[in-house]
Amino acid sequence: MRSLFKFHGGVHPPTHKAESTGSPIAQAALPSKLVIPLHQHVGNRAVPVVQVGEHVLKGQLIGRPEGRLSSAVHASTSGTVSAIDMQLVAHQSGLPDLCITLVPDGKDEWIAHSGVDYRQTAHTDLRHLLRQAGVVGLGGAVFPSDMKSYSHKHKIKTLVLNGAECEPYITCDDMLMRERAGDILRGAEVLRELLYAEEVLIGIEDNKPEAIAAMQQAVLDDRHAHMEVIPVPTLYPGGGAKQLIRVLTGIEVAAGVRSTEMGVQCFNVATAYCVWRAIAFGEPLLSRIVTVTGNVEHAQNFEVLLGTPVDELVAQAGSKPDTDRHIMGGPMMGVDLPSGSVGVTKATNCIIEASPRLFPPLPPALPCIRCTRCADVCPAELQPQDLYWFAKAKDFGKAQEYHLFDCIECGACAYVCPSHIPLVQYYRFAKSEIWQRERESQAAELARERHEFRLMRIEREKQEKAERLAQKEKAALAAKAAAPAPVPEPAIAVAAATADPDDTLQMRIDAAVARAKEQAAAAHPKNTDALTAEQQAEIAAIEARRAKIREMAAHAGADDEPPKSNQG
């Protein structure tokens, strides 16, 4: 028995997992349409490579990865592309993003695909395959997996496979481990190979005995020599990568530090499963397991095609009529979806149908009484009560000094707060304000540089003019003097000769860079071009809401109410 480490704090919210683990993973029905966002991963949005009206096959590339940090997007089934436009997506911001709408033809016809033997394939090629297959972190972070499977400078000793699944309600990883343990471990073996890791530690919270047993059996069956399935204590947020790494290895990875620098890399179990499907069968990431639970007749896990509208998915679990919201993710860190029409993405691990009965509105917030329950449960070992104080007072410098950016927004503090203060919202507010100020100060810095450069240029032009005049006079004098006079060189050439060539070149480059920066700063984000009137109206409404929130936040110091919009 391996000795485990503890992370500070943590909470025990009611798990609500039993509801959705009663039946095996079901295949969700083919929806009437698929709304597939081109931005389902961290990094650059994929670029559409199909046209409206084009017929595509299941697994066909429809979004090409763009730039170094990006990932591919595919058609989840065969059908016709009916639109490529801005639509609401499953994202916290509530802003629309570029999506490809696909009308299935019902044949579910695959594109030709085949796998490779990973032992016979170069690592570079394997990583390329992962990128082309659109494999990203399925634990929720959706970070492109190919970018996480390098083992360059840092010698990776341990690969941590995350099957902890600490959030209440979510059981997609649990069911996946119960039903497809073999493929998960084979995927982990590929990742271990890529990282040259010595060992694979599979952390699973001890409230999932079936999953633990299935995974342990799979380790024995396939004789995985370097793998160990380790039950970890059930404690939220024990499934956070850094918390799990701490529990399994004792290593604390500080904020802003990559775990690879400490010799550890962490992947979610579902990611490992997709890695195996992509490498061994050439199957891109087209579907994922989604837990549908909460206010439904029969909560269970579905294998869902990416892009399936949430409405159509929850209908299959019998969403009850008094449902008033869909939460994507868990109750601690989930997102309140902007609409039921959004498509399931690679980040969608769970849809909780919420009703006022299940999630009653919080009582009004009272002032903080400094009871420090929040500090007792904070896994990042922060002092949430102080951060709240600084955020409320808009003392952002102090908030940063007290490590605001180490906050992982796990919500444990708000969960235990006896005053019911929406602490996490305060931290998000403070963080976004700080980012905004940094952007502003960068812009101001750029403007200052440009201004100084302009002054310098004017000065230089003056000097050049004076030099030219002097040259002219010299030439005139020389002409007057003894003949035959030498033909004067063209003034410009002289000027160029007297000026330092590197200098002018450098200046031109600088000027060009500055211009480019300026243009970049001035350019609108692409996704705000060519909007329909209703989208414009929506954006205007959102802006108004933001303004309102800022205004409320401005008054927040003056009263004890938290800043919240009337959206409630």
Partner 1 sequence: MWSSPFITQPSSVSQIMLRVLLALIPGIALYVWYFGPAILVSIALASATALATEAVMLKLRNRPIKPFLSDNSALLTAWLLALSIPPLAPWWMVVVGTAFAIAISKHLYGGLGNNPFNPAMIGYAVLIISFPVHMTHWLTPHALGGAELTFGEQLGYIFNGALPAGLTLDAVTMATPLDTLKTQLHLGLSVDNIRDMPIYGRLAGKGSEMVAVGFAIGGLYLLFIRIISWHLPVAFLAALFATAGVFHLVDPVHYVTPLFHWFSGAAMLGAFFILTDPVTSPTTPRGKLIFAAGAGLLTYLIRAFGGYPDGMAFATLLMNICVPLIDAWTQPKVFGKKGGGK
Among 110, 150, 281, 402, binds partner 1 (CB under 8 A): 402
Closer of 169 and 276 to partner 1 (Cβ):
169
Question: Do 180 and 286 meet the contact criterion of CB atoms below 8 Å apart?
Answer: no
Q: Is 363 in the site for partner 1 (CB under 8 A)?
A: yes
State the minimum distance, in angstroms, from the CB of residue 381 to partner 1: 5
Among 314, 380, 391, 430, binds partner 1 (CB under 8 A): 380
Among 123, 403, 450, 517, binds partner 1 (CB under 8 A): 403
107 three-class SS:
coil
Q: Is 166 annotated as a binding residue?
A: no
Among 24, 106, 364, 397, binds partner 1 (CB under 8 A): 364
Packed helices 172-195 and 209-221: angle between N→C axes, nearest 10 degrees = 40
Token representation of residue 147: 């970018």
Among 18, 52, 220, 257, binds partner 1 (CB under 8 A): 257
Q: Is 266 annotated as a binding residue?
A: no
Q: Is 374 annotated as a binding residue?
A: yes
The label of the residue with tokens 């004017």 reads 458
- The C-alpha R_g of the chain, in whole angstroms, comes to 29
Among 202, 368, 399, 430, binds partner 1 (CB under 8 A): 368
Measured in Å, how far apart are the chain's first and last C-alpha atoms? Answer: 49
At 518, the amino acid letter reads E
Question: Do 388 and 426 meet the contact criterion of CB atoms below 8 Å apart?
Answer: yes
Burial 217-238 (b: 16+ CB within 10 A, else e): ebbeeeebeebebbbbebbbbb
Rounded to 5°, the CA angle 349-258-334 comes to: 25
State the minimum distance, in angstroms, from the CB of residue 157 to partner 1: 13
Token representation of residue 61: 């590339």
Please classify residue 23 by burial: count the beta carbons closer than 10 Å to its beta carbon, then call 0-12 exposed, 13-18 middle and 19+ buried: exposed
Residues 6+ apart with CB under 8 A from 324: 354, 355, 356
Among 333, 350, 351, 430, binds partner 1 (CB under 8 A): 333
Token representation of residue 97: 């993003």
State the minimum distance, in angstroms, from the CB of residue 275 to partner 1: 28
Q: Is 544 in the site for partner 1 (CB under 8 A)?
A: no
State the minimum distance, in angstroms, from the CB of residue 545 to partner 1: 8
Closer of 396 and 453 to partner 1 (Cβ):
396
Closer of 38 and 266 to partner 1 (Cβ):
266
Closer of 317 and 378 to partner 1 (Cβ):
378
Token representation of residue 396: 């952002």
Q: Is 94 in the site for partner 1 (CB under 8 A)?
A: yes
Among 23, 27, 32, 92, binds partner 1 (CB under 8 A): 92
Q: Is 424 in the site for partner 1 (CB under 8 A)?
A: yes
Token representation of residue 548: 């309102």
Q: Is 19 in the site for partner 1 (CB under 8 A)?
A: no
Q: Is 340 in the site for partner 1 (CB under 8 A)?
A: no
State the minimum distance, in angstroms, from the CB of residue 10 to partner 1: 12
State the minimum distance, in angstroms, from the CB of residue 352 to partner 1: 8
Q: Is 282 in the site for partner 1 (CB under 8 A)?
A: no
- Long-range contacts for 9-12 (Cβ within 8 Å, ≥24 apart)? 9/376, 9/377, 9/378, 9/379, 9/381, 9/412, 10/235, 10/236, 10/237, 10/238, 10/243, 10/377, 10/379, 10/412, 11/235, 11/236, 11/377, 11/412, 11/415, 11/416, 12/234, 12/235, 12/236
State the minimum distance, in angstroms, from the CB of residue 326 to partner 1: 11
Among 40, 101, 308, 385, binds partner 1 (CB under 8 A): 385
State the minimum distance, in angstroms, from the CB of residue 346 to partner 1: 19
Among 130, 235, 272, 332, binds partner 1 (CB under 8 A): 332
Q: How far is CA 414 from the centre of its chain?
A: 23
Residues 6+ apart with CB under 8 A from 274: 133, 135, 138, 145, 187, 285, 288
State the minimum distance, in angstroms, from the CB of residue 191 to partner 1: 23
Token representation of residue 171: 């059981």
Q: Is 417 annotated as a binding residue?
A: yes
Strands 73-74 and 227-232, bridge-based pairing: unpaired
Q: Is 368 annotated as a binding residue?
A: yes
Q: For the segment 451-510, give every residue that binds partner 1 (CB under 8 A).
A: none
Q: Is 172 annotated as a binding residue?
A: no
Question: Alpha-carbon distance 466 to 487, whole Å?
Answer: 21
State the minimum distance, in angstroms, from the CB of residue 368 to partner 1: 5
Residues 6+ apart with CB under 8 A from 410: 236, 237, 240, 332, 333, 379
Q: Is 154 in the site for partner 1 (CB under 8 A)?
A: no
Q: Which stretch binds partner 1 (CB under 8 A): 42-50, 372-380, 457-465, 494-502?
A: 372-380
Q: Is 425 in the site for partner 1 (CB under 8 A)?
A: yes
Q: Is 410 annotated as a binding residue?
A: yes
State the minimum distance, in angstroms, from the CB of residue 350 to partner 1: 13
Residue 354 bridge partners (DSSP): 325
| Binding-site sequence positions for [4Fe-4S] cluster | 368, 371, 374, 378, 407, 410, 413, 417
Q: Given the rule CB under 8 A, which residues bind partner 1?
A: 7-8, 11, 13, 92, 94, 168, 242, 246, 250-255, 257, 262, 325, 327, 329, 331-336, 354, 359, 362-364, 366-372, 375, 379-383, 385-386, 402-403, 406, 409, 411, 414-420, 422, 424-425, 428, 545, 560, 564-565, 567-568
